Structure 1
């Protein structure tokens, strides 16, 4: 089949062109890569929005899966020029010439545009296919006119916070500033002041700002350009509010933004910092795209990327006490600032709503990351300084650029190597087991390991011969014998009783080390006092993702994030390659401190096969410890993608009982939603798709109440047994 594609719709938007269609290749799971080139073959910047096309899946693969075969692509277009759309998969490349004939050849489209926009036709077509793209989703979920009226009528207490929105100006286009001021003036919450500090060569904007005749709008002409930090500090000096709110001079905030912030702050007086979700808006303020649905406060994610970004607010007294913006980190000054403020905030609140539109244009970092390469170096220095302040006992070798710009990889240094006890349950499959052990010893760089192989009812003669051979060859390998029926939790608890290490690495017998420094990566986080367990990135044999952390509530209980996708560019906001805190990680490869394991009383042996690893992570989090996903620690997991099917009555009964047991133990956590996910994302799978607003209500679990009660009834007889 090679690459098949179709451009179904092409239309102009101001000076841009939008193309919409689909593309597939031989591999059902591979996403065709799209690039725009100019006539000279130079790659151009473009905005791509992908969405599922079940009709395409049925046509080519006889499957109505939700893979992202559909695309909408937008790029600047100059009349008379031609462009090349390049489509590529792992085996081949196809190029399509894009010129005026493609866009304007059909007179009927031009006539239709006079009566009804092609955008409306396109969006109606999407709705017919039961597909919701982000611009439409935002229109349907943003605060309605009725809601905005109610917000304006809301009676606040006298001590409700005053927000000081600080904006540094420098050669700001009047049109952008006008839109920003008007978006602030439209706020349903009226206790705000806008502090504009202008470092431009002249004060041409002063009369324009004063024309608004609103005493809440303050303008100060600095007389010189002090840089982004210096100009922002001048704006902060003008502030008199309870909270400082950061905003760029060319961006927009939604009319309910400050209302939502105030609601969170009034509800909890310990909230010192607050942030929201955001998206991007194009140069003409025509279209919103690329939403960033963020987790609740995630300290390890923040140490890897400034995921908080916009909209962000912090108590002014913290700024006065711990310092304003530091010009040493210009380009990443907000990153340094947010890191410092997070150190001293009692609570950091997250509003899971799109309250900020980040402007994209040729010079902005939002659209063109390479426009401010110096900013990424400044970001690395800001993280290094943060570690030195907050975790001086942790040795950092370097902070390097991670998978992509704006992401950072912390490389740890070790002078001592505590003993790690690697605990591996095994029944036959000695070829797999041998690969697992040898990869750790011969390829891995952690020098202090012991292996506890827990033998469980093997039947093949070669298994016993292998045990003798491997124990003789490697003195750090020890085989212990568990004779009971298979129970993963019991087997691992049994193995721990034979371990001498300060750390336990629970590991399946069908994994193989890929990255030599994987245990250094995991131990870098595992050595911290606030961390209880660490997981890694696991790949199937075909190098697609098997594990990139576990999301609570997916599929009713919990599920792996991005399973079956490629970590290189296919995961939402590149999260598969971002170190972060998660609700749980799989015990196929999981590092746990001995003292933490003992405090939570190990694995719950009522979970014989399923959810025992998720359960222990939940117990660790209940003990106020973090679960860290470390993506630069990487193993192959040779588990089949179809493995684990509950296809016998006995297995189905056992699986349902364990689902019911997990619901009995952790139902409140499931109903509250995973704090490291986002309520706007679907719980049907782990692909971070936008939730369907018709079939998935916020806070509504995957299983119905009736089904949850049915499953819990099945588990009541084992719930009280320890």
Structure 2
């Protein structure tokens, strides 16, 4: 009976998540598309525009037997680009004369279509390598057969290349269609490059442009991978550069093939990435396929001082301290209670790292010091922030992103158990700024920040200064603090 009750509760919880997700993410995508659609005048202007630098862009694709029906859609989307210095390189592993006949008809009309027939029908990585070998462009885009590019996609990529000469990788937003000729749905509005997020989910996915020299350094597509050869290659490319750009426009339309996930292969791709980068980590699959939580390995246990800013409520202070002691088995930490407004000296703080929180907050997550220190210990971040919730378990703080409209507080007012857009509230990721509560940072950085005059809001200028000096900020969704 207990198992049945628990099962029903779990089902109810999942249904509630789905309803909340739909409610919070409701928007009119058709209205968005209409607003951003190219006009005839814009198309004409783009075709006539001359950039100072007009590199050749190679679009490479491969054909498997099941792809033949979608071949024309992909080729038409490439050949209708408003930017003209392109080539389309097709590797045909379909073992089907229909595909070769279709491509031959295009080659008679377009001199920049290149074609090779391969013998690797079941080795997509090998097919892509053959297409890459016959390409000549200064930049390369791999486009799955069935996917389509918006007609201004390459134009937008080249515009970025002309503005940022050192750019090595560019990606754009995408949506999908279930059938060619039907309206596109399920838009994916991607964030700017975010390494922590990319390790938890391949949010970049399709239509990625890579500088040819970087593509060569990254090596060849892995011919032994059946499904995640793109993710593997993308990780190898981003490991080799920090010049990565994102275009906030819907430039790629992905054909939804509804393939069965292969968690084992995807985890192997991630393990190889960590091995190449010298990071020791454990990868844990989340409930939804394609999403992961990363536990980083610590070589030692540095001393941590937990600074509690006392708001003169003895009962809340007691609860705060009790929650800390009951939620960790970390061996080396101390608790320092600071009267609100008092300035701390370096001598008063014993730890190499500081966790900051007010006395009207409690810890909800077990092993919270360990989880914060795991990410902090990797050396590439200066602050790790947690998920802060209110009495009703709704999110108050989960990091901050800077947008053209100002600072955006991520996932604010969302229930703490809700996945959010693209499951992002549950995924580790880099952020642009952080709240005061539930964060860990180096002792010297803590002393630099003006914490004695802050309550719940952080000085965003201080965050920018710290980011320029010390590096990234990271959000750890598995650590929860609650405001009483």
TM-score by length of 1: 0.61
Match among 175, 196, 199 for residue 93 of structure 2: 199
Match among 447, 450, 453 for residue 603 of structure 1: 450
1:176 pairs with 2:22? no
Cα separation, partners in 2 of 1:604 and 1:508, compared to 1, 3 Å: closer
**Match in the other structure for 1:542:** 392
Q: How many Å apart are 1:553 and its aligned residue?
A: 5.7
| Preserved CA contact (<8 Å) 1:196 1:235 | yes
1:323 pairs with 2:188? no
Take 2:366 and 2:229, find their aligned partners in 1: how far apart are those partners? 35
Take 2:322 and 2:406, find their aligned partners in 1: how far apart are those partners? 35
**Match in the other structure for 2:348:** 498
Q: How many Å apart are 1:622 and its aligned residue?
A: 2.6
1:446 pairs with 2:296? no
**Match in the other structure for 2:29:** 134
**Match in the other structure for 1:437:** 321
1:518 pairs with 2:368? yes
**Match in the other structure for 2:12:** none
Take 2:218 and 2:203, find their aligned partners in 1: how far apart are those partners? 22
**Match in the other structure for 1:419:** 303
**Match in the other structure for 1:377:** 264
Match among 613, 628, 645 for residue 474 of structure 2: 628
Take 2:376 and 2:394, find their aligned partners in 1: how far apart are those partners? 26
**SS across alignment from 1:239:** coil
Q: Comparing both chains, which one has the higher relative contact order based on Cα–Cα distances under 8 Å and sequence gaps of 6 or more? A: 2
Q: How many Å apart are 1:297 and its aligned residue?
A: 1.3
Take 2:89 and 2:132, find their aligned partners in 1: how far apart are those partners? 7
Cα separation, partners in 2 of 1:206 and 1:320, compared to 1, 3 Å: same
**Match in the other structure for 2:280:** 395
| Preserved CA contact (<8 Å) 1:165 1:195 | yes
The Cα offsets for residues 99-147 of structure 1, whole Å up to 9 and x where unpaired, read as: xxxxxxxxxxxxxxxxxxxxxxxxxxxxxxxxx6012211211322211
Take 2:311 and 2:418, find their aligned partners in 1: how far apart are those partners? 37
**SS across alignment from 2:35:** helix
Take 2:225 and 2:436, find their aligned partners in 1: how far apart are those partners? 40
Take 1:314 and 1:32, find their aligned partners in 2: how far apart are those partners? 37
Please list, as runs of the form range in 1=range in 2, the aligned pairs for 1:570-589 lying within 5 A after superposition: 570-589=419-438
Q: CA RMSD of the aligned region, Å?
A: 2.5
Cα separation, partners in 2 of 1:610 and 1:514, compared to 1, 3 Å: closer
The Cα offsets for residues 563-609 of structure 1, whole Å up to 9 and x where unpaired, read as: 221244451111111111111121111101124345xx22276x555
Q: How many Å apart are 1:206 and its aligned residue?
A: 0.5
**Match in the other structure for 2:8:** none
**Match in the other structure for 2:49:** 154
| Preserved CA contact (<8 Å) 1:587 1:613 | no
Take 2:382 and 2:466, find their aligned partners in 1: how far apart are those partners? 6
Q: How many Å apart are 1:277 and its aligned residue?
A: 0.8
**Match in the other structure for 1:63:** none
1:358 pairs with 2:254? yes
| Preserved CA contact (<8 Å) 1:604 1:616 | no
Take 2:345 and 2:267, find their aligned partners in 1: how far apart are those partners? 41
Q: How many Å apart are 1:414 and its aligned residue?
A: 3.0
Q: Compare CA radii of gyration and give the structure with the larger one.
A: 1
Take 1:575 and 1:142, find their aligned partners in 2: how far apart are those partners? 28
**Match in the other structure for 2:407:** 558
Q: How many Å apart are 1:328 and its aligned residue?
A: 4.1
**Match in the other structure for 1:228:** 124
| Preserved CA contact (<8 Å) 1:164 1:240 | yes
Cα separation, partners in 2 of 1:349 and 1:618, compared to 1, 3 Å: same
The Cα offsets for residues 219-274 of structure 1, whole Å up to 9 and x where unpaired, read as: 21113324221221121112111111011101111000000001111222211111
Please list, as runs of the form range in 1=range in 2, the aligned pairs for 1:633-644 lying within 5 A after superposition: 633-638=479-484
Take 2:269 and 2:439, find their aligned partners in 1: how far apart are those partners? 30
**Match in the other structure for 1:88:** none
Take 2:196 and 2:83, find their aligned partners in 1: how far apart are those partners? 33
**SS across alignment from 1:627:** strand
**Match in the other structure for 2:7:** none
Take 1:521 and 1:610, find their aligned partners in 2: how far apart are those partners? 22
Unaligned runs of 5+ in 2: 1-14
**SS across alignment from 1:432:** helix
1:215 pairs with 2:102? no
**Match in the other structure for 1:658:** none
Take 2:18 and 2:468, find their aligned partners in 1: how far apart are those partners? 42
| Preserved CA contact (<8 Å) 2:139 2:209 | yes
Please list, as runs of the form range in 1=range in 2, the aligned pairs for 1:250-261 lying within 5 A after superposition: 250-261=146-157
**SS across alignment from 2:401:** strand
Take 1:182 and 1:627, find their aligned partners in 2: how far apart are those partners? 42
The Cα offsets for residues 632-686 of structure 1, whole Å up to 9 and x where unpaired, read as: 1222232xxxxxxxxxxxxxxxxxxxxxxxxxxxxxxxxxxxxxxxxxxxxxxxx
The Cα offsets for residues 279-313 of structure 1, whole Å up to 9 and x where unpaired, read as: 11221431122211112111211122111112201
Q: How many Å apart are 1:355 and its aligned residue?
A: 0.3
The Cα offsets for residues 345-378 of structure 1, whole Å up to 9 and x where unpaired, read as: 2511111111001112xxx2xxx4xx3321x322
**SS across alignment from 2:170:** strand
| Preserved CA contact (<8 Å) 2:365 2:481 | yes
Match among 312, 324, 327 for residue 428 of structure 1: 312
**SS across alignment from 1:576:** helix
| Preserved CA contact (<8 Å) 1:331 1:372 | no
Take 2:294 and 2:188, find their aligned partners in 1: how far apart are those partners? 23
| Preserved CA contact (<8 Å) 1:49 1:289 | no
1:531 pairs with 2:378? no
Take 2:252 and 2:155, find their aligned partners in 1: how far apart are those partners? 13
